[in-house]
A = this chain, B = another copy of it.
């Protein structure tokens, strides 16, 4: 399946912090770029996310703010 979301960055999970219902996933994209994603615990379990996994961080264009 191809997605309409225009932003997709590949990286490796470097840290996972699991809360009561939300999980924070830290992704190392390389080149000094680190991303953070907040997802539900259900999602983290469904995807069986583990440190070291190769994942893609996906963001819709309408969710990207520009700073200058």
Contact = CB atoms under 8 A, between A and B. Distances in A.
Contact of A66 (B25, B41, B63, B68): B25
A51 interface: no
Interface of A: 1-9, 17-25, 27, 29-31, 33, 35-44, 46-49, 53-68
The dominant DSSP class at the A interface is strand
Instruction: Give the copy number.
Output: 6
A36 to B, nearest CB: 4
A51 to B, nearest CB: 13
Contacts of A47: 2, 4, 66, 68
A57 B65 CA distance: 6
B7 A36 contact: yes
